[in-house]
Amino acid sequence: MEKKIVLDSGFEFDFSKLLGEGLVEEKEIESISEKIKQAHEAIEVMRKDCFIKGHLSKDGEPEKVCFAKLPYITNNGINTPQRIKALKDWGESLRYNFDAVISLGIGGSFLGNKVIFDIMGGEFWNYKTPEERDGRPEYYFSGNNLDPHRTTDLLKTLTLKAEQKVKHTGKKFKIMLVVISKSGSTIETMANFFVIKEYLENKNELFEVDVTAITDLREDEKETILHKIAKANEWQMFSVPDGVGGRFSIFSEVGLSTGVVLGFDIEKFLEGARDMDQACKSADVYKNPALMNAVLKFLASENHGRDIEVMMPYADYLKSMSEWYIQLLAESLGKKYNRKGEVVYYGRTPIVAVGTTDMHAQTQQHQEGKLDKVVQFIEIRNWKNDIEIHNPYKEFEKLEALDGIMMSEALNAALESNAEALISEGRYSAKFVLPELNEYYLGQLLYLLALTVAYEGELADVDAFNQPGVEAYKKLLGPKLKEIKQRKNR
């Protein structure tokens, strides 16, 4: 049996170093065949009806789970043709019209957007000229922490840019603030929004400011604070859709908003997710990559004590994808109780790593530390930009191996060396292979990971769509902030 699943798109899930003798064994998969069948059936119901057994909102009310609807652009869906057009039109309206966008959000409202920014823009986006960016604005993130130092640095940087523009053109520096919060009461996001908006408006000789709000758009008795504010100020608004948790919102207007600003092909991204969803409808675990991924990680954890997962893409610009995955895995599966109310303390600890960087930092622990890890590699097969290495110091034999090979060839050889070294010591790993790093294959990868945690939640009998542990600290933080204000007002 070939221990990999290859989709028609060329996307691969290679689990040859996770399934086999001395690893997770086929008989273990057979032993939970009924549980696998039930998990698949439960996710089929979720796809059709947005229903997950026993799932309640943070308010204790039944709540839909609709992320599986997001890849499909339909008139009666969440991402309708009209909403996609409105997003794209908004993104185009910023070209050659705004100097910068500041995206303010936390959790999935930051992490998903950062993934798209890194893939489409990258580290040096804001150093490019407007012409090199095809008229698209600079892009900054805030609202994902309460750090006054970084916020001050951001404002100083924007001020310097504005002063230069006013001096050389006589025109103000135009900034679009994109504030993302379903409720409008997210402390980190709203605090940064208040600080930044006030600062920019107080320097109206330098800045021109506009705001776009992405929030829950309902207008009933549960209308959100941010929706009320946005409506009163006539800001452009987009939707945080009902039934879509933040960690899944990259496929909604929340994440797509960053894409349309940068020229990211959001329809190709959703097409990739859609094709992955279709590929994962098979009940055969050996043909369904998300189901197989969930089953193997579940068994590795429960039967073999591998309860740490290292997400290790071999690509610098996929580090933020690993950070997005950390939230996805931790919030979805890190649960004290199962659905019966029994204490289970389920879940794996996720860790960010990047190859080859962390081969010189973490690999010692992966290779010789405790036998408690699964390393999940991501390989890019064909790079859009590649560089041939030339060795000018041919008198040194140790450097000769580099001469005449491509950087990507060296990178992927390092991945294979790492995987082979790990398996030689009984260390578990698996690999996703993307034919290219583009919108389509990114959509395939991220959707597979989202669907995987849905399947694993069913296997473990935990609610993969709530986050009671997050709500616990929030209940304590609000009163503490009120105490601070009371003390200051005495």
Establish whether 268 is a catalytic residue: no
The Cα–Cα gap between 490 and 488 comes to 6
- Predicted pLDDT at 481: 81
Q: Considering 138, 271, 309, 331, which one is annotated as catalytic?
A: 331
Q: Which of 237, 203, 232, 200 is nearest to 217 (CA)?
A: 237
Query: Contact, 349 vs 327, CB < 8 A?
Result: no
The Cα–Cα gap between 181 and 214 comes to 6
Residue 61's pLDDT band, with cuts at 50, 70 and 90, is confident
Q: Among residues of the chain, what percentage have pLDDT more than 70?
A: 100
Q: Among residues of the chain, what percentage have pLDDT more than 90?
A: 90
pLDDT at 325 over 80: yes
pLDDT at 1 over 80: no
pLDDT at 323 over 90: yes
- Predicted pLDDT at 2: 85
Mean pLDDT value across residues 402-422: 96
Superfamily designation of domain 4-60+269-470: Glucose-6-phosphate isomerase like protein; domain 1 (3.40.50.10490)
Residue 452's pLDDT band, with cuts at 50, 70 and 90, is very high
Domain ranges of the chain: 4-60+269-470, 67-264
pTM, whole model, 2 decimals?
0.96
pLDDT at 75 over 80: yes
Q: Considering 27, 149, 168, 360, which one is annotated as catalytic?
A: 360
The Cα–Cα gap between 218 and 230 comes to 12
The CA-based dihedral angle spanning residues 382, 387, 393, 394, taken in that order and rounded to the nearest 10 degrees: 50
Secondary structure in 3-state letters for 252-273: CHHHHHHHHHHCCCHHHHHHHH
Mean pLDDT value across residues 269-285: 98
Establish whether 331 is a catalytic residue: yes
Residue 489's pLDDT band, with cuts at 50, 70 and 90, is confident
pLDDT in tens, 202-236: 999 999 999 999 999 998 888 999 999 999 999 99
pLDDT in tens, 81-119: 999 999 999 999 999 999 999 999 999 999 999 999 999
Mean pLDDT of all residues in the chain? 96
Residue 264 corresponds to which tokens in the numbers above? 């990211």
The Cα–Cα gap between 99 and 250 comes to 24
pLDDT at 409 over 80: yes
- Predicted pLDDT at 9: 97
pLDDT at 454 over 80: yes
- Predicted pLDDT at 222: 84
Query: Contact, 241 vs 102, CB < 8 A?
Result: no
The Cα–Cα gap between 140 and 261 comes to 12
Hey, do 4-60+269-470 and 67-264 end up sharing a CATH topology, with the first three levels equal? yes
Establish whether 360 is a catalytic residue: yes
Dihedral of CA 328/211/252/14: which sign?
Answer: negative
Topology (CATH) of 67-264: Rossmann fold (3.40.50)
Q: How many residues does the chain have?
A: 490
pLDDT in tens, 159-197: 999 999 999 999 999 999 999 999 888 999 999 999 999
Q: Considering 400, 474, 482, 483, which one is annotated as catalytic?
A: 474
> Which residues, 6 or more positions from 449, have their beta carbon under 8 angstroms from its beta carbon?
290, 325, 328
Per residue in 353-368, is it b (16+ CB within 10 Å) or e — as a string? bbbbebbeebbeebbe
Report the largest interatomic distance among the alpha carbons of the chain, rounded to a whole angstrom. 77
Residue 147's pLDDT band, with cuts at 50, 70 and 90, is very high
